[in-house]
Amino acid sequence: MIKYVAPSLLSADFNNLGRDIDMVNQSEADWFHLDIMDGVFVPNISFGFPVIEHIAKLARKPLDVHLMIVEPDKFLERFSDAGANILTVHWEACTHLHRTLSRIRQLGMKAGVSLNPHTPVELLDDILQVADLVLIMSVNPGFGGQKFIERSISRISRLREMIDKGGYSTLIEVDGGVGAHNAAELYAAGANVLVAGNAVFKSDDPLRTIERIKNA
C-alpha cells in the first residue's frame, strides 16, 4: 500500500521558511502540504500566490495544495501557474464538482476533493472516478494544532471500501491531529497520505518524526 507523508507548511517557522523547506527536502516526506485559506470558507487567512511561488522554487517534492476557499474555480489556472502539482477543493465549496475536478486534471495537476468532518463520505460515490485523491478532514478546517476527531477512523474505512469496490486508484489523505501516535491506525484504516503540521515542525527532531510517521 502507498504510504506518503506531507508536512504542512502552515506550521512551519515563517521567519525561517527556507530552512524548513530544506529540511522537508532532505527528509523521507513525499509532498509539501499547503493550506490556502480565504477567511470566508474558514475563519482564518493563510498565504497567497507569492508565497506559493517562492515555495515552488525551493521545493524538490510535489506541492499538495489544499484550497479552503469559496469559488475555487476562479483560481485553478493561477494555482497551476504558481506551481501546484496536486490541487484539492472542498465538496462543500463546489456546485459543479465533476467539472472542477476535470478542469484541474486538464491543467496538468492531480485533482483532489476534501470533506469536512460532518460531510458523509457516501456523497462521493459518483465522483471517485475523476478524483485522484480524497482528503478527509479529521479536525474542523481553519487552524492547526486541533485534536483529532476519532470518528474519522470509521469514515476512512468506509471510503476505502468504496474505492476498492469501484476499482479506483484514488488516494485517501488525512489532515488534522495526525502524528506518530496515530499514524499506524490511520494507515490500517485505509489512508495513504498523512498530513502532519505541528507534529513535525514543533518536534525536537522533525526528520525523525517524519520517518516515524512514514514507517508506522
Q: 156 — phi, psi (to 5°)?
A: -60, -45
| 3-state per-residue secondary structure call for 118-134 | CCCHHHHCCCHHHCCEE
Q: Reply yes or no on whether the pLDDT at 141 is more than 80.
A: no
176 torsion bin: left (phi>0), alpha (psi -120 to 50), beta (else): left
CATH class of 4-214: alpha beta
Catalytic amino acids? 35, 175
Is there a contact between 69 and 39 (Cβ–Cβ < 8 Å)?
A: no
Task: Identify the pLDDT of residue 143.
Answer: 64
Q: Cell triple for residue 101?
A: 475536478
What stretch of H or E contains 113? strand 110-115
The predicted model gives 128-134 an average pLDDT of 97
Task: Identify the pLDDT of residue 145.
Answer: 63
Helices (H), 83-216: 97-106, 152-166, 183-189, 198-201, 206-214
Q: What is the Cα–Cα distance from 178 to 45, expressed in whole angstroms?
A: 22
Q: What is the Cα–Cα distance from 138 to 123, expressed in whole angstroms?
A: 17
Q: Reply yes or no on whether the pLDDT at 86 is more than 80.
A: yes
For the chain, the 3-state helix, strand and coil shares in percent, each to the nearest 5, are 45, 20, 35
What stretch of H or E contains 17? helix 17-26
pLDDT digit string (tens) for 154-201?
A: 999 999 999 999 999 999 999 999 999 999 999 999 999 999 999 999
Report CA-CA distances (Å) from 81 to 10, 69, 141, 202.
Answer: 21, 18, 25, 31
pLDDT digit string (tens) for 41-78?
A: 998 899 999 999 999 999 999 999 999 999 999 999 99
Q: State the chain's mean pLDDT as an integer.
A: 96
**How many percent of the chain have pLDDT more than 90?**
93
- Its pTM stands at 0.96
